[in-house]
Amino acid sequence: MTVMSITNPVVTPFYDPTTSTFSYVVADPTTSAAAIIDPVLDYNPITREPSTHSARQLLDFVMLHGLKVQWILETHAHADHLSSAQWLKGELDGKPQVGIGAGIRQVQQTFKTRLSLEANFPADGSQFDVLFNDGDKLAIGSIPLEVIATPGHTPDSVTYLIGDAAFVGDTIFAPRYGSARCDFPGGNARTLYGSMQRLLSLPAQTRIFLCHDYPPAGVTPQFLSDPLAQRQNVHLKDAVTVDDFVKMRESRDATLKPPKLLEPSLRANVRAGHLTDPFFNTKLVDAKGVTP
Ligand SMILES: [Fe+2]
């Protein structure tokens, strides 16, 4: 499904049912410049085999439509799926830049210790091409892009506001589902509440594109929302105070299990999607059956 607007980006969602993740291709219809947001790399935890079925869908789409991908943007270092940013960068003409929030340094420092990464692993964000801070501005072709720091789920979480389209990562979920967990290292429920309120204060016509959805059986996953609909978010409505929210979020987080792909995801994603960690002892399996 493609969402179109005359002066705003054309946004095409791609859903990975295994990890319940939405990736997006965001295109400027006047210049064909484009960005890819939160691309998934498939991963088999039994064989430890990464593969490119999901990433190939993105690549095939941008090739089919003649898009010039300038950016591959991560909303944060995901803990539930691996990023295909580096594989896509290698496949795409023009070698797009891979960007993430500057808070990735804190995430890297934390997981360098927790995952016992090599002593010379640089926790300085240098694995990425660009680190973004709140208020940074760039463009996708003729469409302006503003970075909004939205920490709370993780310290590196950012929202990319591209024209009227906000890519919010895990800062807010569908109104019926609520909000993301804040119990990862560096997460903070009080901070997340502030970031969610910031998203609610965006112009009413803003299209809010979600990173995940976990609908009940038989319900189609929801990728699109808006600030008005989010006022009815189950974790915010009825004038929930910040203290109420923190209490709810922390008690809920105490019941959650770690994501199934936590370790491989972070081993890959703190390296910007490079699979250079010895943990990955098998080669990448390309969905076309070719091992690059
Ligand atoms: Fe996340």
Other Cβ atoms closer than 10 A to 248: 16
pLDDT of residue 292: 43
Amino acid residing at 190: R
**In terms of Cα–Cα distance, which of 41, 31, 2, 22 is closest to 268?**
41
260-270 pLDDT, tens digit per residue, is: 999 999 999 99
Q: How far is the CA of 67 from the centre of ligand 1 (A)?
A: 27
Q: How far is the CA of 30 from the centre of ligand 1 (A)?
A: 32
- In whole angstroms, give the CA distance from residue 171 to residue 182: 10
Mean pLDDT confidence for 216-220: 92
- In whole angstroms, give the CA distance from residue 103 to residue 56: 29
Specify the 3-state DSSP secondary structure of 99: strand
Q: How far is the CA of 278 from the centre of ligand 1 (A)?
A: 23
Mean pLDDT confidence for 127-141: 97
Sole residue written with tokens 């946004």: 11
Cβ contacts of residue 21 below 8 Å, gap of 6+?
15, 38, 40, 78, 80, 81, 211, 212
Which of 104-113, 166-175, 250-259, 283-292 is predicted least confidently?
283-292
Q: How far is the CA of 215 from the centre of ligand 1 (A)?
A: 17
> pLDDT-derived band of residue 25, with 50, 70 and 90 as boundaries?
very high
pLDDT at 248 over 80: yes
Amino acid residing at 292: P
**In terms of Cα–Cα distance, which of 174, 177, 180, 192 is closest to 229?**
174
- In whole angstroms, give the CA distance from residue 83 to residue 77: 9
Query: Could you tell me the pTM of the whole model?
Result: 0.94
Q: How far is the CA of 76 from the centre of ligand 1 (A)?
A: 7
Q: How far is the CA of 7 from the centre of ligand 1 (A)?
A: 30
Q: How far is the CA of 6 from the centre of ligand 1 (A)?
A: 31
Q: How far is the CA of 171 from the centre of ligand 1 (A)?
A: 8
Q: How far is the CA of 153 from the centre of ligand 1 (A)?
A: 7
Q: What six digits make up the tokens of 177?
A: 């589902």
